[in-house]
Structure 1
């Protein structure tokens, strides 16, 4: 049965988030709130956990997973970012945007897109999740929490616990979050002089990026 962490949205209890971080360090899958919808997260360097995360989500290795980063300096460690790409990302960070970029050598090959060697990265604007990332001390591998066979993300912690309590180690409840995924923008073409490509229009406003 999944543990349930009831977190204050404005003053997250560090003691409880340390317990959640300890689960992640042991290879657990945890449901976390974000500034878009809930997400499933796991340790970046744990292949077994990454495979389980994909299984819960019902996707294969061709589906882009995302790295949740604390800030832009961390993002630059895992992706190749030129000045033009960086300026666009900075305009939307932190926020409900996922950027697809060329993966750096720091990203394990099994986690980047198998044919394109790209990775999704984002910096969430959510106090509880930022606190968890700080305690964890590294990016978390993530995917939108859409259960197998469903099309809409879950945004209620109790619903998540009811549906997935035997597949998750924990659910973090910091209040309901928006039931809308991130806006996904592929920036890889910009590295060759091309334009950004909007892959999915989600909660992030494209006008904020001039798109």
Structure 2
């Protein structure tokens, strides 16, 4: 695994470009978000998705999320109602995962049993520059151990995933809390998990 330490506010673009090249070529990258570290691949690279599915099964992680750098492409991958868009517009970018009905553009193997997908737009410069430079969503899940517990220390992550991952972008100042998960697939929002995100607008 290639390992690079990046500044959280002004990250070194040359390292982000290395990660983008890896993703374009079907590789797996670990990167910081505004909650845990994510491990992911390019949504449009079948080889990368197969590798990520193998890692997911081996580490017993949860469902994947799709990470975006802005709003313009979300409706290609999820069915977004008017009320869902208004909520997302208020809260993103930020530490939230929004559950929405999956659109046809998403490979069915990445759908949940309920035919939904998780949408993320983290507030972290490394993550935002990575996704924007790739110009595709990143399919992602949190870095966890075999028991499904999150790993937040970069050196421990490196040791656990060294043989499975091509490159890691490490960065300090992660809050090490899960995202708040909000289900917007129905007529009313449902708080599935309270995490780092403020949910006062729903109360």
Could you state the TM-score of these two structures normalised by the residue count of structure 1?
Answer: 0.89
Distance 1:62 1:168, change over 3 A: closer
1:206 aligns with 2:203: no
Q: Is the 8 A contact 1:29 1:40 kept in 2?
A: yes
Secondary structure (helix, strand or coil) at the match of 1:147 reads coil
Shift of 1:197: 1.6
Q: Is the 8 A contact 2:182 2:189 kept in 1?
A: yes
Q: Is the 8 A contact 2:122 2:128 kept in 1?
A: yes
Q: Is the 8 A contact 1:180 1:202 kept in 2?
A: yes
Which stretch of the first structure deviates more once superposed, 33-42 or 197-206? 197-206
Shift of 1:69: 0.5
Q: Is the 8 A contact 1:98 1:183 kept in 2?
A: yes
1:197 aligns with 2:190: yes
Q: Is the 8 A contact 2:60 2:147 kept in 1?
A: no
Shift of 1:63: 4.8
CA distance, structure 1, for counterparts of residue 60 and residue 45 of structure 2: 15
Q: How many residues align?
A: 203
Shift of 1:62: 11
The match for 1:181 among 160, 178, 182 is 178
Shift of 1:59: 7.0
Secondary structure (helix, strand or coil) at the match of 1:58 reads helix
The equivalent residue for 2:138 is 140
Shift of 1:127: 0.5
RMSD between aligned alpha carbons?
A: 2.0
CA distance, structure 2, for counterparts of residue 15 and residue 7 of structure 1: 10
Secondary structure (helix, strand or coil) at the match of 2:186 reads helix
CA distance, structure 1, for counterparts of residue 35 and residue 120 of structure 2: 11
**What stretches of structure 1 of length at least 5 have no aligned partner?**
none
**What stretches of structure 2 of length at least 5 have no aligned partner?**
none
Shift of 1:8: 1.6
For residues 128-162 of structure 1, the C-alpha deviation after alignment (integer angstroms, 9 at most, x for no partner) is 110111111111000111122242x2222222112
CA distance, structure 1, for counterparts of residue 129 and residue 23 of structure 2: 14
